[in-house]
Amino acid sequence: MLYLNKVASYLPPGRGQVMEMAGGLHLTPATATLYQKVYGLDTIALAEGETLRDLLDQALTRILPVEDADRKRIKYIFHCHAAPCVCPAGAELVSALQRKHGLQHAVAVGLAQDQCATPLTALRLAEVLLADESDDAQVLLLTGEISFQERLRVIPNTTIIGDASAACLVGKRGDHNAVLTLAQRKFEHAAVQPTTPGIPVPATSYGEDLIHVIRDALDAVSMKIEDLSLILVHNVNAISWKFFARNFPCSPELLFLDNIPKAGHCFTSDPFINYCDAVQTGRLKPGDHFMMVSVGTTSTFAAVVLRH
């Protein structure tokens, strides 16, 4: 069994209002209003004057143990990102951070195979690699990227991307956040973009596939959705999650949607940003069962059930 032993996130202080960003993103006023009023995206987190290395450094600073001996327990670093390339070829990114934080001993890799769902599906790889390590060994999941141009900032008819980073220490032992199961599906037919015939709703295949993977996760641990205290969503938009709540069905209060209007969809970092805020606001208590859910644009759906 795996445990998420420590989670940290970083949202840069810069913010942009969707209506004010419309011109730079080549959105008409009507389309910008659609994103704001229907999709629920109002304010977007922006890394103004900060590089991607700065963002990742902020997440690492918040999560890494002080003692060198504790840092030595980190055997692998997974930088999980959605875009295939997040920095120029040959540029130092994670390696520079390893030197700064005394992590040169760890094996670092970049993972992007499932786009925004990558940090959740990467738990399978973490489990395989930790199986041959000592009981106190850990994997560091590092997420974060910057939308450095408008084509990365907007997914048409779906969401507007924010900048953020997060980090998570995964181990075989722990006192909380036990990973009970991971369900993963890849649907070749799935259409991620919502349709827009007047009032937009998620494409039927997307909504149904989301329901399927969440049912898979619950069935694997013989639970009902009512047994969950919270679902930490990916912050793609509010309408797709309202569609889910209506059709699963479940109470809308079960869904943690707080950051959709405050930060936008922050690539791979959403589940961890939402976790940190849920803990800080008292939405998760010891012993609660909760779920993290994310979807990649390759139509990879992932749902993880945990015990806090």
The lowest-confidence range among 86-90, 157-161, 238-242, 271-275 is: 86-90
Residue 270 has pLDDT above 70, yes or no: yes
Least confident segment among 66-75, 151-160, 176-185:
151-160
> What pLDDT shows up at residue 133?
97
Strands of 164-171's sheet, edge to edge?
Answer: 107-111, 74-80, 138-145, 164-171, 2-10, 178-186, 300-307, 289-295, 230-232, 255-256
How many Å apart are CA 263 and CA 31, to the nearest integer?
18
Report the C-alpha gap between 267 and 294 in whole angstroms.
10
As a whole number, mean pLDDT of residues 158-180 equals 96
pLDDT at 56: 96
Tens digit of pLDDT for each residue in 221-262? 999 999 999 999 999 999 999 999 999 999 999 999 999 999
Average pLDDT on 121-144 reads: 96
Pick the range with the lowest mean pLDDT from 117-131, 143-157, 163-177, 240-254: 143-157
Q: Which has more pLDDT, 91 or 137?
A: 137
Q: In the numeric block, which tokens belong to residue 298?
A: 């390759």
The C-alpha torsion from 205 through 217 and 8 to 298, rounded to 10°, is -30
Q: What is the pLDDT of residue 113?
A: 87
Most confident of 90-99, 148-157, 170-179, 193-202: 170-179
DSSP for 6-49, please give it.
EEEEE--SEEEEHHHHTTTTT--HHHHHIIIIIS---EEEE-SS
Percent of the chain with pLDDT over 70: 92
pLDDT in the model for residue 207: 80
The second-level CATH assignment, the architecture, of 2-171 is 3-Layer(aba) Sandwich (3.40)
Q: What is d(CA 54, CA 50) in angstroms, rounded to the nearest whole number? A: 6
Q: How confident is the model at residue 208 (pLDDT cuts 50, 70, 90)?
A: confident
Q: Look up tokens 């692998």; give the residue.
A: 76
Predicted confidence band at 93 (pLDDT cuts at 50, 70, 90)? confident
Determine the pLDDT at residue 87: 65
Domain spans in the chain, listed from the N-terminal domain onward: 2-171, 178-307
The answer, yes or no, to whether residue 30 has pLDDT greater than 90, is: yes
pLDDT digits (tens, 9 = 90+) for 57-75: 999 999 998 888 899 999 9
Q: Does the predicted TM-score (pTM) go above 0.95?
A: no
pLDDT value at 202 more than 50: no
What's the mean pLDDT in 99-106? 96
Per-residue pLDDT averaged across 125-144, rounded? 96
Same fold, 2-171 and 178-307: yes
CA dihedral (221, 225, 229, 233) positive or negative: positive
Of the CATH numbers 3.40.47.10, 3.40.720.10, 3.90.1300.10, 3.30.450.20, which one belongs to the domain with range 178-307?
3.40.47.10
**Average pLDDT of the chain, as a whole number:** 91
Q: Please list, in sequence order, all residues whose beta carbon lies within 8 angstroms of the beta carbon of residue 254, skipping any fewer than 6 positions away.
A: 225, 228, 229, 230, 231, 245
Q: What is the mean pLDDT of residues 113-124?
A: 94
pLDDT in the model for residue 90:
60
Cα atoms in the 13 Å half-sphere on the side-chain side of 121? 24
Q: Tell me what percent of the residues of the chain surpass a pLDDT of 90.
A: 78
pLDDT at 34 > cutoff 80: yes
